Amino acid sequence: MGGTMTRYKAQLGRRSSVTAIVLALSAGLAAMPAAAQSVAGGTATSPSEQPEVVEDIVVTGSRIIRDGYKAPTPTTVLGAAVIEQSAVTNVGDLLGQLPSFQGGSTRTGTAINASQAAGANQINLRGLGNTRTLVLVDGARFTPTTNSETIDTNLIPVSLIDRVDVVTGGASAAYGSGAVAGVVNFVLKKDLQGLRANVSAGITQYGDNEDIMASFAFGTSFADGRGHVMAALEYEKNWGVSKQGSRPWQRPGFNVLANPAYTPTNGQPRQLLLPDVQLSVATLGGLITSGPLRGTQFGPGGTTSQFQYGSIVSGTFMSGGGGINAGLLVPLLPPLKRLSFFGRVSYDLTDDVTVTADVSHGRSSSSNPFVAPFNLGNLTIQRTNAFLPSNIVAQMTAANVTSFGFGRFSPDWGYLTTDNANTTDRGIVSLEGSLGDSWKWRAYAETGRTDSDGRVLNNVIVANLANAIDSVINPANGQPICRSTLTSPNNGCVPLNPFGQGSASQAALNYIHGTQFIETKLTQTSAGGSISGEPFSTWAGPVSVAAGAEYRREALNSAVDTISQTSGFLLGNPKAAKGQYSVKEAFAETVVPLLKDLPFAKELDLNAAIRLTDYSTSGTVTAWKVGGTYAVSDDISFRVTRSRDIRAPNLNELFQAAFLSFTTITNPANNVQSTIQQFTTGNRALKPERANTLTYGVVVTPTFIPGFSFSVDAYDIKVEDSIVTLPSQTIINNCFRGQSTFCPFVARDGAGNIASVTNVFFNLSKQTARGVDFEASYILPLSRLGVDSNGTLSFRGLANYVSNLTAGAGYNQAGEVGTQSFAGTSGLVGLPHWRADGHVTYANGPLTTDVEVRYIGGGSYSKNNAVFGIDKNDVASQTLVNLGVQYTLAMRGSHEVQIYGKVNNAFNARPPLNPFIFITPTQTNPALYDVVGRNFLLGVRVKM
């Protein structure tokens, strides 16, 4: 009780401090107008000084710079004004709202994850997985933060981002391996002058997900303007959401059960979506799960009573009854703490040559109690157990029973807690310059390292638990003792009393618990050079060319504890891994103007690129693209790109040793649901993926509607030899259907029941992704409507329609929004047909307000009804409304203070019913829908 009160007081103090910050910022907001009036010479911002809503930005959709609308590959740009207006504390959260991005490795999606990815924020374009989205910083690769060579955007300081370019099409020829779904390029500020500071605090209406963030950036010139120095420091702490049960939508306890009455011929569905689903094989104090005493449960102090089974019992779960919904007791959102530093020094060696050095340091950490120890009827209790109540001993003796199966869900033993910390250090030195009027060159050398320390605290040592549970009375003194200690007196075993909550001694818990760890070092070394220019002109304009060469080396080295190496823990058990590969690349690109200023062609350009890549692990591959833009007039233009893109196997896919986790499956042979072990392992024989990508679209900028732009772009991506692991359910189903190649990966116990599945990375035959992107924007000065105002209304809308997505499941998963555990997908965690995001912004002088509407489509829980056949297969959509306001105060000189506020999910929209099947289920798909609820944020920005 004392420990509980201590935790409660600490939590109360924590919330009080964050609430105090929010209230202080609120008071600041109220006081600011008065403060503005007291500033000498303070005036409202003139119309010319109003914040820009839409910027004319040059983007880097290729190595040859072109305006975004003229780029042959569709590119979405998020400028600094949009990022500030969103008031995000993490740019990954903002990108996740764009329709072209899909759920996956977000913080909500990793809440119950025991791996090093828990708490990470990664990027997944097109639903093809974050390993197929290339993330760059200033056009260069960033040091990977995971074994899969993905980037945790928690490490990128928001305060220094000038814009984000999202190239939503294959770009391997321009940027290299991994750009199958596209490229996300974080472009940092170059010539920051003065001081920038930003402080914010946030909290939900439920009093959780508290967040504080502070960032400081400074830049100045030196040496009469020949040099420039810039530095930024950013810190954020987010306390997350500690319990799913804190949200009303979680409490009904819906889940999917295998229908025990189903037969292949009786017309009933295989799966049932039911409320009040609880564990049927475990209770908080312990449950007898076999023999004549089945259904006897243990209360505090070892008291016994009859367990109430539900109306439908299906394997591990049941609907109704007197059990527990373990999903109410686990976190909804992991906490996060992050710190990032970035420094840059540049100096003009001559009028034509500049040297630049960048250094960055980032650290993110997350400690997350993700699940309590669980034993789902797989413990054996002997009649001679020293702690077994006498009435149970008597009943067993009368029934001539010597043992029984025992299940327990044990938060009183201490939660298994991930404690992850990732530190990334990176340095890059570059030389760039110009040769003549049009030629530019650049050379660089980069090195980076990520140290990842992943631990699982309070992980149960399986052998120690078995010894501690198997206790007897010591004949020498009449006290409980481990049976194993009688024959091995110095084995250190401490007997554990499992009967009733709180019965286990601390000494016994210390004996059964251990700390699992994996310490990983990832290193990246790269160097390269490029040159671009305009060697000659055609009658339609100058021909642009770019060429270069790059070298990169990636290496992995990880160490684990001795217990994990022998798979001795209840969960996790990572294995040591070591490996490396190197890449040599050469590329060339050109833009050739073909037509210009003709009656039928305002402009016609051809864009082509080729990249030759040699991998030390898998040989040589070629990526290329051919595209063009055709402007019929100032009002309408067309663009098309055809490309061959590549992705080589990453360090994790090549070198990962067997990693243990658990999943819930349904045996298609008897429709029995159970929780089994699954092992994931790498494959050094993998070869690179190859993707054929076609994008084509139209851009409309009608001169008769000034300020309006509209684009529609279709994409068709076909990935050959895609590298995947199939979910355990898919492997089991394929084996059951007679596909014998899958059967060796399914292991069974002595009774013939499925015990485990091994998931090996391998090259699947094909993946496809097809869809359409829509983007529209309109800037409307109110004066155009005859209103006597300097204000401006702006509208921007983005939408994505996915028509087709096929992967390892072998059917079109577009419109399937169920979770991976049930739907049998391949890393695709929910993909509705439609997603959309729209903004209406009003700006007038110092005031800017914004209304954002996000739409996340519904769909089918599973589209593979031939196998999964659920009775209620429709999942609703979710519409979210976010409200924002900014007010800028002009101070002395160029100094200014901006106060801002944001309400996310202003109407507290609930996520749709879409359960995730596991021991600790959730009522919805946390990787797809908003599960946090109404969230408030207040902040202040200062520019000096």
Amino acid at residue number 69: Y
Q: DSSP string of 384-433?
A: T-TTS-HHHHHHHHHTT--EEEEEEE-GGG--EEEEEEEEEEEEEEEEEE
Q: DSSP string of 840-893?
A: EEEEETTEEEEEEEEEE--EES-S-HHHH-BS--EE--EEEEEEEEEEEEE-ST
Q: Indicate the pTM of the whole model.
A: 0.84
* Least confident stretch, 168-182, 220-234, 455-469, 580-594: 168-182
Q: How many CB atoms lie within 10 A of CB 390?
A: 8
Assign 271 a pLDDT band (cuts: 50, 70, 90). confident
Q: Domain limits of the chain?
A: 58-246+333-370+418-458+517-943
CA angle 652, 656, 658 (to 5 degrees): 140
* Least confident stretch, 55-64, 158-167, 547-556, 747-756: 55-64
Which of 378, 500, 359 minimizes the C-alpha distance to 424? Answer: 359
What's the mean pLDDT in 704-726?
Answer: 90
Residue linked to tokens 């960032």: 215
Q: What pLDDT shows up at residue 242?
A: 83
As a CATH number, domain 58-246+333-370+418-458+517-943 is: 2.40.170.20
d(CA 193, CA 183): 29
Q: What pLDDT shows up at residue 473?
A: 96
Which of 836, 629, 478 minimizes the C-alpha distance to 71? Answer: 629
Are the C-beta atoms of residues 309 and 295 closer than 8 Å to each other? yes
d(CA 245, CA 310): 21
d(CA 316, CA 673): 7
* Least confident stretch, 10-19, 86-95, 614-623: 10-19
SS (H, E, C) 552-578: EEEEEEEEECHHHHCCCECCECCCCEE
Are the C-beta atoms of residues 688 and 718 closer than 8 Å to each other? no
CA distances from 50 to 164, 842, 844, 886 (A): 22, 11, 7, 12
Under DSSP, the state recorded for 466 is: H
At 814-842, the pLDDT tens digits run: 888 876 443 333 344 678 999 999 999 99
Q: What pLDDT shows up at residue 810?
A: 64
At 869-898, the pLDDT tens digits run: 888 889 999 999 999 999 998 777 778 999
d(CA 693, CA 695): 7
Are the C-beta atoms of residues 907 and 881 closer than 8 Å to each other? yes
d(CA 54, CA 81): 8
Assign 32 a pLDDT band (cuts: 50, 70, 90). very low
Q: Cα 392 from chain centroid? A: 49
* Residue partners of 541: CB distance under 8 A and separation at least 6: 593, 596
Q: How many CB atoms lie within 10 A of CB 1?
A: 6
Q: What pLDDT shows up at residue 762?
A: 83
Q: What pLDDT shows up at residue 108?
A: 55
SS (H, E, C) 218-283: EEEEECCCCEEEEEEEEEEEECCECCHHHCHHHCCCCEEEECCCCCCCCCCCCEEEECCEEECCCE
CA distances from 618 to 150, 582, 647, 723 (A): 20, 10, 11, 14
3-state secondary structure of 195: strand
At 617-669, the pLDDT tens digits run: 988 999 999 999 999 999 999 999 999 999 999 998 898 877 777 777 888 88
Which of 165, 93, 87 minimizes the C-alpha distance to 133? Answer: 165
At 150-181, the pLDDT tens digits run: 888 877 888 888 888 888 877 888 888 888 88
d(CA 122, CA 113): 14
Assign 15 a pLDDT band (cuts: 50, 70, 90). very low
d(CA 208, CA 12): 10
What's the mean pLDDT in 449-463?
Answer: 94
Q: What pLDDT shows up at residue 857?
A: 93
Are the C-beta atoms of residues 888 and 846 closer than 8 Å to each other? yes
* Residue partners of 381: CB distance under 8 A and separation at least 6: 288, 388, 403, 404, 405, 406, 469, 498
Q: What pLDDT shows up at residue 553?
A: 96
How many residues would you count in the chain? 944
At 842-865, the pLDDT tens digits run: 999 899 999 999 999 999 888 776
Does residue 506 have a pLDDT over 90? yes
d(CA 594, CA 600): 13
At 205-241, the pLDDT tens digits run: 999 999 999 999 999 999 999 999 999 999 999 998 9
* Least confident stretch, 93-102, 461-470, 530-539, 851-860: 93-102
Under DSSP, the state recorded for 6 is: H
Q: What pLDDT shows up at residue 53?
A: 35
Are the C-beta atoms of residues 868 and 823 closer than 8 Å to each other? yes
Does residue 604 have a pLDDT over 90? yes
What's the mean pLDDT in 703-713?
Answer: 93
Does residue 583 have a pLDDT over 50? yes
Are the C-beta atoms of residues 526 and 550 closer than 8 Å to each other? yes
Partners of residue 215 on adjacent β-strands? 198, 234
Q: Cα 821 from chain centroid? A: 17
- By 3-state DSSP, what share of the chain in percent is helix, strand and coil, each rounded to 5? 15, 50, 35
Query: Which own/partner pairs from 446-449 qualify as long-range (CB within 8 Å, at least 24 positions apart)?
Result: 446/140, 446/141, 446/524, 446/525, 446/526, 446/527, 447/523, 447/524, 447/525, 447/526, 448/142, 448/143, 448/424, 448/523, 448/524, 448/525, 449/143, 449/424, 449/425, 449/521, 449/522, 449/523, 449/524
Hey, what are 831's tokens? 């993909």
* Residue partners of 694: CB distance under 8 A and separation at least 6: 640, 641, 642, 643, 715, 716
d(CA 527, CA 522): 17
